[in-house]
Structure formats: structure tokens, C-alpha cells
Amino acid sequence: MSVGEPIVLSGHVELDEIAAASEPARSEVDAQFLESLREGDAAAFDRLVGTYANGIYALLHRLVDDAEEARDLTQETFLQAFRSIAAFRGEASLRTWLYRIAVNQARNRRRWWRRRCRDETISLDEPSGNGVPVAEGDPEQTALQRERERALHAALQALGEPFREVVVLRDIEGLSYEEIAATLEISLGTVKSRLARGRAELRRRLESSFT
């Protein structure tokens, strides 16, 4: 496996599949829906939340690695979206716009914790690592799966914030380079550089965990 290949981050199928299944085609986000959002229509906002909440929560859970924090930040993301929707002009997709808000929420929360000298990674010692259910079966295989999940999340959270963001957005959320650039407001070259470095560091940490 070369440095340029994506890291296979297993164990996150359920939320990803829910988010992917609920993601509408770009053409479905029509002008009338956007206008309803800008006018503060409650039904339109409920539709926005229903469509994107699972994907936003999954993204935030991987960025902050704590279920309660992710739930709080998901709520904050949609509150910020509600306040800012009038400024949305449709240059990027709604998902990209919401992901940008979510990433900024995660960054702000981590800065808040750092200012108070708190540990950034809160739930690495939870049995299943990221709240992902472990399949029942052979106890030895179950224990091994738990250990792999724990190592994966420890390695992911140990990455520097800029590298963790691009790895999560590309290798877990499946965004294109262009979408990541728009979400993080950086150049394509920066996306590719951070992704290569992030993958290499993540691979190095994972390999050292099992040697």
C-alpha cells in the first residue's frame, strides 16, 4: 500500500450508509427550497436537518471523538446554519456549506478545551472506540476488533488538526478534493499535500500499534 492510497477506516458503515442514502441530488436542492430556508420556513429547516443531521453528526464524532460533544456540535451547526442561511448563495452544495460550519464548530470547541488545559481526546478508552457496535461472534475476534478500533481512533485523534480534517473528509466522508477545498477554504494543492501527510502519519501510527 502506497502513501497516496486511502486508509481503510472500517467499522463506520452504519452512519455513512444512512448519510449517503439521505443525500439528495444537487438538482433536488431547488431555488424554491433555498428561498424557503432563507425566509425561515420551519418545514424547510426540518427537511434540511432530516436530510443532513446523520452525516453532520458522523463527521463531528470523528473530529472530536466524543458522542456527547458531537451531539452538541451538531445542534450548534444547524443553529448557525439557520442564522446564516440568508448568506448562502449556492456557489457550493448545501452539504459542503454545512460541513464547513461543522468543521469550524469542531475547531472552536477544541480551542476552547485547549485554553482550559483539558485533554483533547475524551473517549479513547471507551470499549468500542467510537460508539460503533462490535459484531458478536468469536470472543477472540471480538477482542481483536475492539483493539483495532481503539488503535484507529487513537491514531486518528493523534493527527494534527489540519491533517485529521482532510483524512476524515476524504477517506471517511468521501468528499472530492474540490469539495474538501471548498469546505476548508484552502487550495487543491494544500488538500493533496495535507492528505498525503495525514495518510502517511496515520499509517505509521497504526503500524507501530501492532508491532
Least confident of 24-33, 40-49, 116-125: 116-125
The candidate with the shortest Cα–Cα distance to 104, out of 121, 129, 79, is 79
Q: What is the pLDDT of residues 132-191, one digit of tens each?
A: 444 455 677 777 777 777 777 788 888 899 999 999 999 888 999 999 999 999 999 999
What single-letter amino acid sits at 168?
A: V
Digit-coded pLDDT (tens) for 75-125:
999 999 999 998 888 778 889 999 999 999 999 887 765 555 444 443 333
Nearest in space to 179 (alpha carbons), one of 80, 22, 79, 168: 168
Q: How many Å apart are CA 27 and CA 111, to the nearest integer? A: 37
Are 112 and 104 spatial neighbours (Cβ–Cβ below 8 Å)? no
For 132-149, b/e burial (b = at least 16 CB within 10 A) is beeeeeeeeeeeebbebb
